[in-house]
Amino acid sequence: MSTPITGISSMATRLLLADLATAYQQQFQVPVQFESLGGVEAAKKVQQGEAVDLVVLASDAIDKLMAGGFLLPASRRDLVQSSVAIAVRAGAALPDVSSEAALRASVLAARSIGYSTGPSGTALIQLFERWGLGETLKDRLVQARPGVPVGSLVAQGEVELGFQQLSELKDLPGITLLGGMPPGLEIVTTFTGAVRVGAAQADAAQAVLDFMSAPAQTALKERHGMEAAQA
């Protein structure tokens, strides 16, 4: 069998990338292996010279690595768009999150609020600040550690209201999904792939990215609660 093409990614895309890697191997008999960890840590590993072929992270993190000379600019491919959803513990009362006013009231009523690291968590905190609730909520906010799903904190009763990307919440036991953010407040992260400068298998890695970004993979991405990235 061919030498595996190696990649590094954030946790948000780990299950999708595993399925895409399996599909690629089945079609081309070339194995693809990803290490998935917190996005900040993954970016740091790339900066420190981690010997991988592929990097898949939020687009802003990819852009920073590219500006730093760590990734090949021409290799950049947008793979998926992932939206934030909201969850409570299974069996808990279901707060109204159907509109901006309803969500604001539900956030104010929550005794604890879980959110993730990375761009989606940053966007949520910016929303709370825009509502003028930064000081009011600061002692109720619980940021999940890198690599720890917000949904697991919700399921364990550590937080009452949890916000994380749908792909990370949709199949998690012990929680009830309330749905996505209300109209006008959507938080969407684009995940992008690129080939590392100096990659041992740069051409093969590019072929993997082209496969993963192709329209033929749209249905698989939707099964993971994501959408194909818009061209």
Give 68-97 pLDDT, tens digit per residue.
Answer: 999 999 999 999 999 999 999 999 999 999
Instruction: Among 180, 198, 217, identify where a domain stops.
Output: 180
Q: How much is the average pLDDT of 191-216?
A: 97
Which CATH number do you get for residue 224?
Answer: 3.40.190.10
The residue with tokens 């840590």 is 41
Q: Provide the domain limits for residue 158.
A: 83-180
Buried-state track 91-104, b at ≥16 Cβ within 10 A, e below 16: eeeebebeeeeebb
Burial class (CB in 10 A: 0-12, 13-18, 19+), 50: middle
- Kindly tell me if the per-residue pLDDT of 118 is higher than 90: no
216 falls within a domain = yes
Kind plus residue range of the DSSP H or E element containing 192: strand 188-195
Q: What share of the chain has pLDDT > 70, as a percent?
A: 99
DSSP letter assigned to residue 196: B
Whole-number pLDDT of residue 149? 87
Are 67 and 34 found together in one domain? Answer: yes
Number of domains the chain is built from: 2
Contacts for 220 with CB less than 8 Å, ≥ 6 apart? 16, 19, 20, 23
Are 87 and 172 found together in one domain? Answer: yes
Is the Cβ–Cβ distance between 184 and 170 less than 8 Å? no
Are 89 and 60 found together in one domain? Answer: no
Are 89 and 156 found together in one domain? Answer: yes
The pLDDT confidence band at residue 231, using thresholds 50, 70 and 90, is low
Are 76 and 14 found together in one domain? Answer: yes
185 falls within a domain = no
Whole-number pLDDT of residue 189? 93
Are 110 and 157 found together in one domain? Answer: yes
Whole-number pLDDT of residue 209? 98
Are 35 and 121 found together in one domain? Answer: no
Sign of the four-CA dihedral 121, 54, 214, 2? negative
Contacts for 214 with CB less than 8 Å, ≥ 6 apart? none
Q: How much is the average pLDDT of 5-24?
A: 94
pLDDT digits 0-9 by tens, 161-192 = 999 999 889 889 999 999 999 999 999 999 99
Q: How much is the average pLDDT of 26-33?
A: 96
Structure tokens at 100: 């901006």
Is the Cβ–Cβ distance between 45 and 54 less than 8 Å? no
Whole-number pLDDT of residue 199? 96
Closest CA to 13 of 226, 172, 177, 214: 226
Burial class (CB in 10 A: 0-12, 13-18, 19+), 216: exposed
Whole-number pLDDT of residue 1? 57
For the chain, the average pLDDT equals 94
Are 110 and 26 found together in one domain? Answer: no
- Kindly tell me if the per-residue pLDDT of 193 is higher than 70: yes
Q: What share of the chain has pLDDT > 90, as a percent?
A: 87
DSSP letter assigned to residue 110: -
The pLDDT confidence band at residue 120, using thresholds 50, 70 and 90, is confident
Entry pTM: 0.88
